[in-house]
Structure 1
Amino acid sequence: MSHLYEPLTLDLDYCRQRQQRLLAVMERLDIQRAVLFQPEHVQYFTGFRPGGLLNAAVSLDADGHCLLVAPNNAPEHAAVDEVVTFEAQWHCTLRQDQREAIAAILRTAWSGRSAASRVGVEFANTGRHLDPLFADIAIVDLEPELWDLRRAKDPDELAMIRRAVACTEAMYARAREVIEPGVTEIEVYNQLHAAAVEVAGEPLTGFGNDFQCNSPGGPPRNRAAEAGELFVLDLGPGYRGYYADNCRSMRVGATINDEQQHAWQAIVDVLQMVEETVRPGLSAQKLFHRAQEMLDEYRTGAFFHHLGHGIGLFPHEGPHLNPHWEDTFAVGDVFTAEPGLYGPELRAGIRLEENYVVTETGVERLTGYPLEL
């Protein structure tokens, strides 16, 4: 089967707009230069995603000049003013000192530009390879600001997420075909991976999360499904760096019991509440507590995890539908809602998860595969 869709790339105009938003952050923090190594941020701001185990970096100066240091060859599709390449492989062998090679290139490139007294970086990526770059320079952690910038998804990012969602819907359709008593979790996993790749038309950049039967979730096992059990399929494929994350629970065999039907309806009611309630400015923490109250009516303790989270270039982003965060929903947020109920009477649980984008007046649901068990 050939893939169903044409390949997608990030729009270079939107990449430039994202650079402008970062420049505004830099001005507010009195930062003259930002240097970013995380592949998610390189892609977010330039449209170029380094493949596999290859490293890259982007340097953005306060005057708007954007430099990309790319492995091996200059990309054809990148929203930058300058590209410098380095040999990430020698005679086909990956170099272990790619970051050091990038740092040397940046040091040379910066020597011809205005000096920067304050530089923004991702503290998670500041290792010894950066020490020579920042001698006598103040460094500022940009990661909290970058996570905040990434919350509001641009149309090109939404297109990527929709493609990842399309992968999940093909996976659920395949699951309906193959799940029956005796099928192993590993076989279901393999079949679902193949279905997603058919839609993506290329290798996935991520593939999770839960593929277990008679369990709240987990990686696939060499275990055969039994009639009356439920598969929890919480699927998080990545398409060119962007994730979907949604869940369906599917029966093994022809029937479900009364407890399973009761729990399913309680979970569906929570999803309906989410769709009717979420607006810009709403507390995600309060939404969690409302869902907890509703699910506790089934049985206290049967719902024991978060209600959901944002998705994008990372499986868990803001907003966090979780009692440990005090986030509020904002226009452009793409988030999941994943109420669940668990117990031996359910063989062993049901979780249903939808993906949404927050609009000016409410939410748009991105997922469309039926919720039935």
Structure 2
Amino acid sequence: MLAPPEYRIGRTIMLGINVEACRSRQKRLLKALEDQSLDAIVITQNEHVQWLAGPRYEWKFSPAAVLFADGRLALVAPNEAPETAAADDVHTYEAQWLCTLRNDQRAASSNAVLGILREGGNLKRLGVEFSSYPVHVSSQFSAELVDVEPELYRQRRKKDADELAKLRMAISGTEKMYKKAREIICPGINELEVFNQLQAAAVAQYGEALTGTGNDYASGEMGGPARDRNVEDGELYILDLGPAFRGYFADNSRAIAVNGKPTDQQQEAWTYIMKVFTHLESVVKPGKSCKELFLEVQDILKEAPIGEFPHHLGHGIGLYPHEAPHLNSCWDDTFAVGDVFTCEPGLYDERLRFGMRLENDYLVTETGVENLSPFKMELA
């Protein structure tokens, strides 16, 4: 099946590179860092290059970008300039020689960055990502360095319309995957066969290859990759699916009774899991504490007669599978408008063969949340 008409009709605008949106993100970042008095910001992480400039580059390439305080952006692209980019100048480096990928791409990309910085005038104070700013640059260009990586992650929390379009498309792939799963899962089917057919369902929905995939395809387990193993009668099959469309990751989960007949214990555990979603949808709005929600859900699931809840409640999604906000007692985040996050309560026990994890994706709005994955939750 091809992508739904509403996505196909405006595909270039909705799902392609939105230059205006990228320019808006560039301005937003500069505004947020205004008090740092930066002369320029050097970007070297692929996800941040995509977020600011538009083109998506695979992990095997080493793009970069330089955003100047006056709003100009210079993009460093592998091999050739992209057809579309929110950039004032595009520089290239040779990522391949006679089609062979170079292992010294970051050095080659950094040489282009050095040229941009040297031509940029008297740059004394640079914003950089401390975890990835290359020594190739820092050893040859003297400037005071300021870590802007935390601010980049903060800015990425609020999803713009072009990002939401890609996330909705990614999530639509999971709906098709669960539909296929419910058609084929039965005692004796091999986990690898389930994996292959579900990947194919997402590819058919997107009309192009996945840019990422995950997460859990092991039956009768809390999670894990698909194995060369036939599923067994009575098991619960947790499918935690995270395909990515053009760099943006979906992440939601369903549990399916392999024989189509959940036991009374499995069904009772399911009712406690569903109480979590009812609670979340009634209390989450901008300003709500994520940690507080996590603790409230712990209390709900402690009342279940069977099963333990041993993991986080959820997290943000976007260009990386796990982003802020963190629904986790190890962080103290607060929900904000534009967050796209997961909620994944679970209960696990051998008596449940081996348990269940149900997960929805939500968008935080001005007044509450929108469920982005409103498809079937039942065990059968």
Q: TM-score, normalised by structure 2?
A: 0.95
Among residues 52, 55, 58, which one is paired with 1:51 in the alignment? 58
Equivalent positions of 1:154-169 (< 5 A) are: 154-169=160-175
Does the CA contact (< 8 Å) of 2:114 and 2:137 recur in 1? no
Say yes or no: does 1:140 pair with 2:164. no
Aligned equivalent of 2:120: 113
Once residues 217 and 178 of structure 1 are traced to their aligned partners in structure 2, the CA distance between those partners, rounded to angstroms, is 19
Deviates more, 1:98-107 or 1:321-330: 98-107
Aligned to 2:107: 100
Mapped to 1, the partners of 2:119 and 2:137 lie a distance apart of: 19
Corresponding residue number in structure 1 for 2:73: 66
Q: Report the alpha carbon displacement of residue 113 of structure 1 after superposing the two structures with TM.
A: 2.0
Supply the distance in 2 between the matched residues of 1:51 and 1:230 (Cα, whole angstroms): 35
Alpha-carbon distance in 2 for matches of 1:110, 1:257: 65
Aligned residues: 372
Aligned partner of 1:278 in structure 2 is 284
Aligned equivalent of 1:88: 95
Residue 114 of structure 1, CA deviation: 2.2
C-alpha separation in 2, matches of 1:146 and 1:213: 38
* 1:294 is the counterpart of 2:290: no
Q: Is the 8 A contact 1:341 1:350 kept in 2?
A: yes
8 Å CA contact 2:286, 2:337 repeated in 1: yes
The Cα of 1:326 is off from its aligned counterpart by: 0.5
Whichever residue aligns with residue 152 of structure 1, its letter is: K
Cα deviation, residue 254, structure 1:
2.8
What is the distance in 2 between the residues matched to 1:355 and 1:96?
Answer: 38
Over the matched positions of the two proteins, sequence identity in percent amounts to 51
Question: Superposed, which structure 2 residues align to 1:295-314 within 5 Å?
Answer: 295-299=301-305, 302-314=308-320
Query: Partners of 2:57 and 2:220 in 1: how far apart?
Result: 39
Contact 1:10 1:157 in 2 (8 A): no
Q: Quote the residue 1:75 is aligned against.
A: 82
1:350 deviates by: 0.8
Query: Which one is further off, 289-298 or 22-31?
Result: 22-31
Match status 1:18 vs 2:25: yes
Letter in 1 for 2:58: G
Number of the residue aligned with 1:264:
270
Aligned partner of 1:40 in structure 2 is: 47
Equivalent pair of 1:103/1:133 in contact (CA under 8 Å)? no
C-alpha change, 1:34 and 1:299, in structure 2 (3 Å) is farther
Higher mean displacement: 102-111 or 159-168: 102-111
SS at match of 1:219: coil
Shift of 1:52: 5.0
Q: Tell me by how many angstroms 1:300 deviates.
A: 8.1
For residues 282-305 of structure 1, what are the alpha-carbon distances to aligned partners after superposition, in whole Å with 9 as ceiling and x for unaligned?
000000000000000014870110
Amino acid at match of 1:106: V
Amino acid at match of 1:84: H
Query: Quick one: structure 1 residues 301 and 32, their matched pair in 2 at CA, closer, same or farther if it must change by over 3 Å?
Result: farther
Q: Is the 8 A contact 2:248 2:320 kept in 1?
A: yes
Gap regions ≥5 residues in structure 2: none
Counterpart of 2:348 in structure 1: which amino acid?
Answer: Y
For residues 127 and 301 of structure 2, what CA distance do their matches in structure 1 show?
A: 44
In angstroms, what is the RMSD of aligned CA positions? 1.4
**Which shifted more, 42-51 or 282-291?**
42-51
The counterpart of 2:159, out of the listed 153, 160, 179, is 153
**Which residue identity is paired with 1:14?**
A
SS at match of 2:131: helix
Q: CA offset at residue 25 of structure 1?
A: 2.7
- Deviating more after overlay: 268-277 vs 105-114: 105-114
Whole-angstrom distance in 1 between the partners of 2:305 and 2:256: 21
Query: 3-state SS of the aligned residue for 2:33?
Result: helix
Q: Give distance in 2, aligned partners of 1:156 and 1:254.
A: 39
Q: How much has 1:10 moved relative to structure 2?
A: 3.4
The amino acid across from 1:45 in the alignment is L
The 3-state SS of whatever aligns with 2:336 is coil
Select the residue among 116, 129, 134 that pairs with 2:136: 129
1:343 aligns with 2:349: yes
| Counterpart selection for 2:328 from 313, 322, 330 | 322
Distance 1:153 1:356 in 2: 12
Partners of 2:172 and 2:232 in 1: CA distance = 29
SS in structure 2 of the partner of residue 134 of structure 1: coil
Shift of 1:115: 1.8
2:201 corresponds in structure 1 to 195
Following the alignment from structure 1 to structure 2, what is the Cα–Cα distance between the partners of residues 31 and 94?
Answer: 34
CA distance in 2 between counterparts of 1:356 and 1:3 reads 21
1:238-257 equivalences in 2 (<5 Å): 238-257=244-263
CA contact (8 A) 1:26 1:62 kept: no
Shift of 1:127: 3.3
> Measured at CA, do residues 347 and 20 of structure 1 come closer, stay the same or move farther in structure 2, by a change above 3 Å?
same
Shift of 1:133: 4.2
Tell me which moved more, 243-252 or 3-12. 3-12
Residue identity in the other structure for 1:357: L
Structure 1 residue runs of 5 or longer lacking an equivalent are: none
Amino acid at match of 1:19: Q
